[in-house]
Chain A
Amino acid sequence: MLILICVAVATIVVLPALGRYGAYIVYAVTIAAIGALALNLLIGYCGQISFCHGALLGVGAYAAGNFGNAGQDMSISLLAAGVVTALVSVLVGLPALRLRGLYFAIATLAAQFILEFLFRLLEPLTHGVAGLMIKPAPFLGMDLSNDRGYAAISIVILVASLIGVSRLLRTDLGRRFILIRDSEMVARGMGVNVALTKLWAFAISGFLTGIAGGLLGFTTRIAAPEAFEIALSVDYVAMIIVGGLGSLPGALIGAGFVVLLPEAVQRFGESLGAATQTSAIREMVFGLLIIVFMIYEPRGLYALGGRLARRLRAPFRRAGAASQLAKSEGVN
């Protein structure tokens, strides 16, 4: 945890030296990490597979945009977006009280399409297909509406939510989430109110999702339906699986991976001068990587990293044991 805060502070300190593109990369990854953290809480810890995360991020973006355009401070708008999205998320989660696993996943797929439809329909709130323009808003009275400011805000929020979620997982409620993931039947047998616990998972995950969505809205300055389609949901599920289901650092690693990889391929393609084919190749690399991960390391990069670290450390440990053996022999 201390390391995390140090890294965050260090990143904020070097931000001014990064330039606009560097700052953009930082906040893109950070915001994605907040969203991935929220989804990991739901899928990785509570076991509720959801394919409507993209639409929920959209709800957050529209809510924050509407509050921001009404002249609210960015911090207030983000909190309000969190609350609104938490409510919508609970609504989406209601079928989870009756459905499990695959069936629930399909129900969230339906929720994704229904929300997308509502984005287009509710013109007074969303401005339909054209999208809602979001004016820059001050953050706690300060003008931070530039790339570096956004990066700093998102890093602070990410650190806060990481600490919050890791604390939450040590509480009673957090333990109940994990129990429900592992076996609903056991949870029920132990007297856990499964329905209420699931709804809490949706509410908390939705709150974080709303904040991430709000940040997305403020940084891109527009919330349009096509930005929150099913592809975005798939991206987020990919993030937490690539990073590691049910691991907090995994959400960060996965977000970094899924955001940076297309960026890298895009840059590489542009340097070769084949911009038209680049997007296709980017998608192909993304799809291939998902499949390779699913086959060889379904537990994600974090588990892979842990395994590699152990393997690297193993020779030293053996050497240490040998020297201890030598010492003890020497004594005799």
Chain B
Amino acid sequence: MFILQLIVAGLAVGSVYAIIALGIVLIYKCSGVVNFAQGGYAMLGAFFTYALTTAGLPSAAALVVSLLLMGVVGALTQTLILRPMLKAPVVAVMMATLGILIIFRAICLLIWGPDQIGFPKLFPDGSIEVGGIFMTYNYVAAFLLSAVLCGAFLAFYRYTPLGLMQRCTADNTRAALAVGIHVSNQVTIAWTASAMLAGLGGSLLASLNGLSLGLSNIGLVAFPVIVLGGMTSLPGAVVAGLILGVLQAVTDGLLTPAIERVLRDYTEIYSVGALQQVIPYALLVVVLLVRPQGIFGSKESERV
């Protein structure tokens, strides 16, 4: 029963990972840019939600307004920073996104300070019990919201004209240009959507774990997710996010105590610390070495 409890908690956190990873995959597919700043967008979104609720807005309205603001931020960063860098080398673009991350962190540090902030309640307190497993409303809501959003997102890409244009741009930029798609507008749209996704993911995560500058590290946890999912696959990112969330929860709840018990018997090491934070990266290395295209990626998805 304990393990089921862990899996449920893992799925909730994992669905948030999925949302954030979706944004990175979206941008990578459309423009070949790896956005190291995704965690920064998540953090900024969470701080916006926090600021708006403290300004007196009800939490649902605050969340919506903050997502709209994030969309504007995403579009602005793309047009101001990434668009002039179309022909820059890969390292330069990576560094530019890291620059964005540094600036976002600095802005939040300047306005809200370095301390952990109690995040306003997005969902009511309390929990429900299903078959002996207790779930707080927070986790249930985070999971449901992420699931609905992921589904809506994938459907949007599959069935709408704009989604078709987005997929076209992602598939083959030249061909997209040839059939008359305004590619750089499509890239701007991708950044807008990705920033909004990140803002939602950040707000949900803050409602689960509290809000601080450390939230921006979530962007780096998303990299194992997208590599595991196959870098260019949207459903892959969702599945990989869930897998990693569960893996982390199980590591934290079961594996770490077990390993520590063994270590204590044979070595002087008493604690393995935050093992669940390293597990994704260890998995990442294994996946990269054994199956670089990830679970869902295709062979040619490796951009050389």
Task: Tell me the A residues contacting B by CB distance below 8 Å.
Answer: 43, 49, 95, 98-103, 105-107, 109-111, 113-114, 117, 120-124, 230, 234, 237-238, 241, 245, 277, 279-284, 286-291, 294-295, 298
Contacts and interface: CB of A to CB of B under 8 A. Distances in A.
A220 B86 CA distance: 41
Contact of B288 (A95, A123, A290): A95
A241 B102 contact: no
Contacts of B95: 237-238, 241, 290, 294
B288 to A, nearest CB: 5
A111 B175 CA distance: 38
9 contacts: A100-B302, A102-B90, A107-B284, A114-B281, A241-B95, A284-B106, A290-B96, A291-B81, A298-B85
Contacts of B117: none
B89 interface: yes
Interface string B96-108: 1011111101110
Interface string B49-82: 0000000000000000000000000000000010
Contacts of B88: 294-295, 298
Q: How large is the interface on B (under 10, 10 to 19, 20 to 34, 35 or more residues)?
A: 35 or more
B106 A287 contact: yes
A95 B100 CA distance: 28
Contacts of B302: 100, 103
Interface stretch (B4-12, B203-211, B219-227): B219-227
Contacts of B105: 283
Contact of A291 (B99, B106, B274): B99
Given A106-B284, A110-B224, A284-B106, A290 B99 contact: yes
B197 interface: no
B109 A124 contact: no
B2 to A, nearest CB: 25
Given A279-B109, A281-B106, A291 B281 contact: no
Contacts, number: 134
B161 interface: no
Closest 9 CB pairs of A and B: A287-B102, A290-B99, A283-B106, A287-B103, A110-B281, A284-B106, A280-B110, A291-B99, A294-B96
* Most A Cβ at <10 Å: residue of B100, B220, B281: B281
A326 B282 CA distance: 72
Contacts of A287: 99-103, 106
Interface stretch (B145-153, B233-241, B265-273): B265-273
Contacts of B107: 280, 284
A124 B263 CA distance: 14
B292 interface: yes
Interface string B248-275: 0000000000000000000011001111
B179 interface: no
Nearest to A97: B289
A277 B302 CA distance: 43
Contact of A99 (B85, B93, B288): B288
Contact of B98 (A49, A101, A114, A290): A290
Contacts of A113: 220, 277-278, 281
Contact of A114 (B269, B272, B278): B278
Contacts of B130: none
